[in-house]
Structure 1
Amino acid sequence: MDNYTATQLLQSLQAGHEGIRHLDNCIQNGELNISDLAILDDLSDLLSVVENSTATVSTPNRVKEINANIMFYINELKENATHDNVELFLYDFRFHFSSLYRILEFEVAYIAEDLVSKRDYPRFYPEIGVVDHDDISARGANSLCKVSIVLLAYNNLDYTRDCVESILMNTNNVDYELILVDNGSTDGTKEYFDSIPGAKVIHLKYNIHLVKGFNMGLMAAEGKYSAAVCNDFIFTPNWLENLIICIESDDQIGFASPGATSISNLQQISIPFISKEDFQEKAKEYNVSDPSKWEERVVLLPNVLCCPTALLNRIGYYDTRFFRGEFLDDDISFRIRRAGYKLIYCGDTVTHHYGSLTTVTDHQTNSLEEGRETFKERYGLDAWMDARMSSTYLDIEANLLSGVNSILGIDVKCGATLLQIKNRIWSIHGNKPKLSVCTTERKYDVDVSSIAEQVFPLDSLSQLPEVMKKSIDLVYIEKPLDCYSDNLETIFNSLSHTMNANGKLVFTVNNIISIESLYEMLNSSNSVHNRKIYIRDMVCAQARINGFELYSIVNYAPQRNPESDQMVENIAQFLGNGRENEVNYLKSLLNSTYEIYQMSYIGNESI
């Protein structure tokens, strides 16, 4: 596809949209005539042009499946108009045909994005412009109900039935509508959905997969909030009420999600149970709204995507470029947060997750790496390396976090671990410290600015005293000290000028004989050659000179693959020469990627 073709396609889709608006206006005014339906024939011709123009593009897309669904509903609309089935015509026009067309617009816009000026087509590129929070609030005030629960299912009827029944059983205390999206199932899901009284049911003739299937349901939402859920979850007493309590506690919250029995991103809540009934009873006891269990996050997994409906509409729902759905959660987290909203994990609410039924077929492909690469292309960041929490924060002593009202994060990437330190202080000590960030890596500026009150760019740590005076209770440095060009004397002297009396300092140093370091040396990695080598005594001595007192040192060992584990065993056995104590010591060193230093600042009269 070339620039001219891309431009023509977007202009043609815009003209098609104007035709759909004309039909909609005629419907609203009660003036729709059979002659107006000629627009549907024109749209059929347009679909053919779109499909032919995108047939050979290398960009993964589902234009063919989307068009097949649109054509099915064009024929349904004609049939209903001919037989004067007004109610069915109106339903299909609004919740099937119009939404499918919008999904097609997003799909083609993604294919064409490098060939056009996005600012010329703001309808197709929701990232253009600033999100108006007042407008989002105003739109929510005129909603049909409090929440639209959107459930997507593709086959797996037994799980779907359990999910729906758990929603019906446990959501009586919230004014909601239930939107059920059948993504082209062949196992009786369609008939089951049609049997649910009062549900708004959307049937897709052909499977358009997770991203677009969810968007079909979200586009049909008429509640102030939307709560999107997968069919492999079981919901529990007060699940939705607790989420709404959270999201309405602060108008800056744009996304809330609960915990689950099986999930990553530290959103797992372990509750032993022996049956579904037993789980519901235990969940009822657990699900008591408790703000001390709310955690602000950089990335939130959508066990439930609970967001203002108008916000999802404004940002364009789930991003169609995530072809199989992997890293979709990271992307929507980024877009909501960058739009000026907070993400809150509601650790006071548990659900049950069977595990990835919705995406199981895609997991059989290379979907994880594909999605990870898509995210990198979109943001210039690695979702796993740059936006996930480091387990090191779990090892910070709780007593070290007492009395902390201000935190300075230095080179904290997107700030996920820094936020979690703040969350721990809130949970343990009941206060929310002020966050500031200094960064020597500018690619993180946008994201740390979304969570911190102040962000200061630095070229080196020697500039710290210029931007931060003595006002910080806790300094957390995520980047290992041996990776800085500044020497230890400069680093600790600079840090001492930012610390309050009795302030705390947490930082890491690479363990030079960890298995990762040995691999890097064997591969002649530049990251090793450019890194300093610091031993404990050297670090502690320089810290003391500048007024810091050692609190503790913790070795941090991440989870490894079996090959690395076996290599650790082999090296330890060889060097230890069969002596048990020496072997265990060597294994601990080889396993420890970082040494985590926790210090207190006691001051230095010479400063």
Structure 2
Amino acid sequence: MIKNQILVKQMLEIINTMLEASQHLYEIAIKKDYSNFMEIVNDMNNAINSIHSNIVNLKKAENITINVDLACENANYSLNRIANLSKSRSRNILDKIEFELIPILEDMYLQLYFWGSIYPDKEKIHNYYQNELIPLCSNKYIDQSEINGKYKYDLSVIVVGYNNLEYTKLCIESILKYVPDNINYELILLNHGSIDDTKKYFESIAPTKQVDILKNGGSPTAAIRTIEGKYCLTVSNDVVVTENAIVNMIKCIESDDKTAWVVPTTPNVSNNQTIPANYNTIDEMHEFSRINNKSDKYRWEQRVRLCNPIDLKSSKIWFSSNGIGWGGYFHTSNIMSFPDDKVSMILRRKGYKMMLAKDAHCYHFGSITLKDEVNNYKDKEGNVGSETFYTEGRKEFSEFFKIDPWGTGFGFDFNLFTHLLCNDDGHVDVLGINCGMGSNPLKIKESIKENVHNLDVEIYNITDEKCYIEDLKGSSDVVEYTDDFSIVENVFGNKKFNYIVFESKLETYANPIEIILKLKKCLVENGIIAIKTYNIDFKNEIKNIDSKSIESGYWIIFK
């Protein structure tokens, strides 16, 4: 937070004045009366330079972390190109004002307000999240479309280009080839601070909208303020789109109003979002994808967390005034720090679904865009590298949101599912105990759906960790908190379960073996109980309960 709040307020007022001036520039361009156009541009340049100078001085004097100086450079860059367009009376000037300059200034206001007036005051942050976040970052086009009941486009496609032009070309060519013919879409190309020929290439494509950002990281929410589609497909420039992938993702997101986020399977991505595939060339990859990408609702797998080199979002849920306020949740000035985990947490806690569409396979080259920045990351102590980046980011996230982004249950465990067939018929009840975010119980449900097309599965979760209660609501039918595991068998009455998964902390309770014996009585005939522990002695003690128990990784499984 900046110490001189009077100065911050003055700078915010200047940005608001510039937004009004931008609207005036737009009206001048419509009327084609450019008599005082350059006078307004020059005044805006001076105002931006004044803010830039103040921020640079404040960063030196107060050692604050804020990127508003980069936003100023982006605004000046946009404004100067608009000035040149006015001289040639270019028809592109309206789009550059509406879909580049104004979003950059709106983002500048958001950045200055949060980092200059809110962070790190916990009370102010709470009020900001509750009352200010959504108005500051909602998309006016999406709001108007919701009022009208009709969207200008079915789909907004955003390609984020940051150097590596050879990959960007492959990406855009694949999109143009495989975007469905019957989809009314807009193509938004975001040149995010590239120093190669990305800008020139984008111009040769003649997209619906082109947003040119001078400095990477200076205007993180500018592009999402330009979206006018019912759904938004965001594609990193190191992704190749394939036949039927987009249409199958759209089918998935349209299948349930609570589905907010869909990603396809890709190689070279974390979070177990790959599927078995055997190909060696791009042509072979396309042939594999053509066969794989046959619409199949049983291969839409709900997850508690997603990663997104390419993803499909519901614009209403993400960007409207009635949505989650994405773009305004901050916990660090490093915009690359755990963004997938952050939005996954927000969606989980608001009860929305996140889906991995296995019937949509695309190719991801793997961190081409961000690899160098992550590998070159340096913390305040001078430590460099990807390990430093993730360690520091994980710590920041945990301290800010009070949950470890890579904590218990953030992903399912292959060691467990090696021994679970998940081919049950009829009604199935799954009980998760201290399963953190709940990935393993959810994976049982989704595996039964995929394997035998059985949708009659209910998930119950019980935990003594209050920090996970809200996270579990998005993936559970019933969630309960308990602080007494000595009566665990009574939490859900006389309920019998097909699967019981006890994922953490069992060895820390009094009489853990007695708890296991009680839980075994809560199983249906031929039911399965799985217990995870890192304590070798306790693991051996559990194994003595049943000579037929199976050990797999840190799990002991009773069938």
Equivalent of 1:235, from 241, 257, 264?
Answer: 241
| Structure 1 residue corresponding to 2:478, chosen from 442, 450, 454 | 454
The aligned runs of 1:352-391 (5 Å cut-off) are 352-364=363-375, 365=377, 366-386=388-408, 387-391=410-414
Q: 2:198 aligns with which of 180, 185, 189?
A: 189
The 2-side partners of 1:16 and 1:203 are apart by 20
Deviation track 1:510-550 (CA, whole Å, cap 9, x = no partner) reads 4526xxxxxxxxxxxxxxxxxx675246433xxxxxxxxx7
What's the offset of the Cα at 1:357? 0.7
Question: Percent identity between the aligned chains?
Answer: 24
Unpaired runs of at least 5, structure 2: 378-387
Match of 2:451 in 1: 428
Are 1:117 and 2:127 matched, yes or no? no
Matched-pair contact (CA < 8 Å) for 2:187–2:209: yes
* Conservation of the 8 A alpha-carbon contact between 2:496 and 2:524: yes
1:418, distance to aligned residue in structure 2 (A): 1.9
Q: Which amino acid aligns with 1:74?
A: L
Partner in structure 2 of residue 64 of structure 1: 69
Say whether the 8 Å CA contact 1:255–1:344 is kept in structure 2. yes
Q: Is the 8 A contact 1:139 1:310 kept in 2?
A: no
The answer to whether the aligner puts 1:258 opposite 2:264 as a matched pair is yes
Corresponding residue of 1:342: 353
Residue 272 in structure 1 maps to residue 278 in structure 2:
yes
Does the Cα contact within 8 Å between 2:304 and 2:439 map onto a contact in 1?
Answer: yes
- For 2:69 and 2:15, locate their aligned partners in 1 and report how far apart those are by CA, in whole Å: 18
- Aligned-residue offset at 1:398: 0.7
* Partner SS for 2:362: strand
Q: Which structure 1 segments of 5+ residues have no match?
A: 514-531, 541-549, 557-593, 600-607
Moved more, 359-368 or 25-34: 25-34
Residues in 2 aligned to 1:323 and 1:129: alpha-carbon distance in whole angstroms:
18
Q: What is residue 5 of structure 1 aligned with on the other side?
A: 4
Offset of 1:192 from its aligned partner?
Answer: 0.9
Find out whether 1:205 has 2:214 as its counterpart: yes
For residue 553 of structure 1, the aligned residue among 541, 550, 555 is 550
Q: Secondary structure at the match of 2:407?
A: helix
In the other structure, the counterpart of 1:588 is: none
CA pair 503-254 structure 1, distance change in 2 beyond 3 A? same
TM superposition shift of 1:260: 0.7
Residue equivalent to 2:106: 102
In the alignment, which residue of structure 1 is the partner of 2:517? 492
Give 2:506's aligned residue. 481
Give deviations 1:576-605, integer Å, cap 9, x for gaps.
xxxxxxxxxxxxxxxxxx242223xxxxxx
Kindly tell me: are residues 207 and 502 of structure 1, through their superposed partners in 2, closer, same or farther at Cα, counting changes over 3 Å? closer
C-alpha contact 2:348 2:473 (8 A) present in aligned 1: no
The residue matched to 2:257 in structure 1 has which SS?
Answer: coil
Provide the C-alpha distance between the structure 2 equivalents of 1:270 and 1:105, rounded to a whole number of angstroms.
Answer: 46
Change (3 A) 1:310 1:286: same
Q: Indicate the larger mover: 326-335 or 268-277.
A: 268-277
Distance in 2 (alpha carbons) for counterparts of 1:96 and 1:217: 8
Specify the SS of the correspondent of 2:222. helix
> Do 1:228 and 1:304's aligned partners in 2 also have CA atoms closer than 8 Å?
yes
In structure 2, what is the Cα distance between the partners aligned to 1:326 and 1:598? 40
1:159 aligns with 167
Structure 2 residue aligned with 1:413? 436
**CA distance change for structure 1 residues 57 and 500 in 2, over 3 Å: closer, same or farther?**
farther
CA contact (8 A) 2:305 2:344 kept: yes
User: 1:136 and 1:443, CA in 2 relative to 1: closer, same or farther beyond 3 A?
Assistant: farther
**Structure 1 counterpart of 2:253, from 236, 239, 247:** 247
CA distance in 2, matches of 1:194, 1:509: 57
The whole-number CA distance in structure 2 between the counterparts of 1:136 and 1:394 is 46
Q: 1:284 to 1:533 in 2, by over 3 A?
A: closer
Describe the superposition over 1:207-250 as per-residue Cα deviations: whole angstroms up to 9, x where unpaired.
337xx45x333222211111111111111001111110000000
Aligned to 2:383: none
Residues 1:68 and 1:180: Cα distance change in structure 2 (over 3 Å): same
- Kindly provide the CA deviation profile for residues 47-83 of structure 1, in whole angstroms up to 9, marking residues without a partner as x: 43344334455554433322111122233344545x3
Q: How far did 1:255 drift?
A: 0.2
Among 303, 326, 329, the alignment partner of 1:316 is: 326
Larger RCO (CA within 8 A; separation ≥ 6):
2
Match of 1:146 in 2: 154
When the two chains are superposed, the root-mean-square deviation of aligned CA atoms in Å is: 3.3
CA distance in 2, matches of 1:156, 1:257: 23
Deviation at 1:393, TM superposition (A): 3.0
1:434 partner amino acid: E
- Against the structure 1 CA distance between its residues 143 and 11, is the aligned structure 2 distance closer, same or farther, given a 3 Å change threshold? farther
Q: Is the 8 A contact 1:465 1:498 kept in 2?
A: yes
Q: In structure 2, do the counterparts of structure 1 residues 344 and 318 end up closer, same or farther at CA, with 3 Å as the change threshold?
A: farther
Give the aligned partner of residue 16 of structure 1. 15
SS at match of 1:87: coil
Q: Which moved more, 1:477-486 or 1:329-338?
A: 477-486
Conserved? CA contact 2:67–2:333, under 8 Å:
no
Shift of 1:427: 1.2
1:460 positional shift: 2.2
**Change beyond 3 A, Cα 1:140–1:424:** farther
Indicate how the Cα distance of structure 1 residues 120 and 373 shifts in structure 2: closer, same or farther if over 3 A, else same: closer
For 1:117, the aligned partner's letter is: K
Q: Which of 157, 176, 180 is 1:168 aligned to?
A: 176
Aligned match of 1:222: 228
Tell me how many residue pairs correspond in the alignment.
527
Query: What is the CA–CA distance in structure 1 between the aligned matches of 2:237 and 2:261, rounded to whole Å?
Result: 20
Residue 145 of structure 1 aligns with an amino acid whose one-letter code is Y
In 1: Cα distance, 2:474 partner to 2:14 partner: 37
TM-aligned CA deviation for residue 90 of structure 1: 2.1
Asked if 1:286 is matched to 2:286, the reply is: no
User: Cα distance, 1:499 vs. partner?
Assistant: 4.0
TM-score normalised by length of structure 1: 0.78
TM-score by length of 2: 0.84
Contact 2:110 2:137 (C-alpha < 8 Å) held by counterparts: no
1:470 and 1:497 in contact (8 A); partners too? no
Matches within 5 A, 1:495-514: 495=519, 498-512=522-536
